[in-house]
Amino acid sequence: MIMAANKWKDRKDIVYSTNPDYKYESNEENKEKETLHPSKQKLKVYMDVRARKKGKQATLINGFVGSEEDLKELAKLLKTKCAVGGSIKDNEIIIQGDFRDKIVEILTSQGYKATKL
């Protein structure tokens, strides 16, 4: 017989119940962020050289409100249009190199509100 893993450690903000029929329902599973329409997004585009290897430049885009899949899709679009590499970290898109002007242009053509800092 295989024992089920204790999932009580994953339960946050719950109080013990004496009801024998009580079943815990996690809110985290249903908490996927809903992606805002591009016209309601306020993205900030800026360059960063801090904490980069040998002072390499990177363009950062933050302020995206939505699901992880939509963020990945937007990052893929930007990386393709700029023909460079990049990644996503802490809900922030990182594009290698200084492409602030081009990224703002791409985002505005897609309907986003983007500001260059």
The tens place of each residue's pLDDT in the chain, 117 residues long, gives: 454 555 656 666 666 677 788 776 666 554 566 888 999 999 999 998 776 777 788 999 999 999 999 999 999 999 999 999 999 999 999 999 999 999 999 999 999 999 998
Q: What is the DSSP letter of 4?
A: P
Domain 33-116 in CATH: superfamily?
SUI1-like domain (3.30.780.10)
Has this prediction a pTM greater than 0.75?
no
Q: What is the DSSP letter of 44?
A: E
Do 104 and 94 meet the contact criterion of CB atoms below 8 Å apart? no
Do 91 and 64 meet the contact criterion of CB atoms below 8 Å apart? yes
